[in-house]
Amino acid sequence: MNRAPNVTERYLDEATPRGASLMKREVVLPVLVLALLALVPLTGSAFYTEVVTKVMIMAMFAMSLDLLVGYTGLVSFGHAAFFGIGAYAYALLAPKTEAASLWLTLPAAIGMGAVAAAVIGLFVLRTKGIYFIMVTLAFAQMFYFVFHDTNLGGGSDGITIDFKLEAKLGDIALIDFGNSNQFYYFVLVLLVAAFLFLRTLLNSPLGRALQGIKVNEHRMRSLGYQVFWYKLASFTIAGTLAAFAGYLSAVQTGFANPEILSWHQSGNVLLMIILGGTGTLYGAIGGAFVFALLENIFEALTVHWQLLLGLTIILLVLFLPGGLSEFVARFISKPVEEHADDE
């Protein structure tokens, strides 16, 4: 059975000197990026700290969708529903007169996202292709109108959280969520944890089965795999991680409104993984940062910034279909190949 190879397997075998050199380069680049991210709060700019915090949250959201699109072959256009569920779970559970507890609201938000994803998955995974895309969009719009047109979600204005989250052990506050630097490092640690979790998952038998389903679903079924339940596991995990990202977004902004469940939000996160390259966790993270950068640049140029962004996506798909991760993979492997040629 063919499976989707990772970046290393495309170019070199890990056991060879060339492969070892490539592996070293692949480790150095992420460590360098992580070190740069750790330095952001040290610039002293609260604005840039909050902006990068927001982008890291969106990167977690993008990785959750990439688990579906890039590794399972399920293109969802309603993934924002789970992001919104996580945000609204926190907003609805937060007391009006005092700070909410991390130990209560976080498990509740994750649990609600997991249950919603599992139940919705039972229905939408019975469809395929364009029908799957449209059904996921329909479910997301249902949640959008539930929060937009009823008092549950505060209508179009949403819900405002008046007090910052608390994380206490007894009388000791572990994190000051009102401090942008502390919240930044909290999100950075969670981003790394989410990345490591997904990477471990994808290297597990479950992850290998999901990648096999993407490559050839019929063959996986003929080998005895219960394809539907594997897809449901992927859909549930992706929805849970998206709800987690939505929760963090609500904690940062202090409000939740229906727009975070709209199809625009689903479209934006889909563009992020297209920019970065589907089927690579690094690509999802990089795509989130590049999307935010392009959005800010184009917004400064014109009010019709979406047009410029759309043209950029079209050009990228035409000339670099693997996204920015393909460009980085070529850049990493090229020096290794030139060195091997010299030998």
**For the whole model, what pTM was predicted?**
0.87
Question: According to the model, what pLDDT value does residue 197 have?
Answer: 95
Q: Which two tokens stand for residue 308?
A: 């410029």
- Three-state SS sequence of 271-312: HHHHHHCCCCHHHHHHHHHHHHHHHHHHHHHCCCHHHHHHHH
Question: According to the model, what pLDDT value does residue 25 have?
Answer: 58
Whole-number mean pLDDT of the chain? 86
289-310 pLDDT, tens per residue? 999 999 888 888 888 888 888 8
Question: Is pLDDT above 70 for 260?
Answer: yes
Question: According to the model, what pLDDT value does residue 14 have?
Answer: 44
- In the chain, the percentage of residues whose pLDDT exceeds 70 is 88
| Bigger pLDDT: 9 vs 220 | 220
Question: Is pLDDT above 70 for 128?
Answer: yes
Three-class SS state of 75: coil
Of the pLDDT bands very low, low, confident and very high (cuts 50, 70, 90), residue 208 is very high
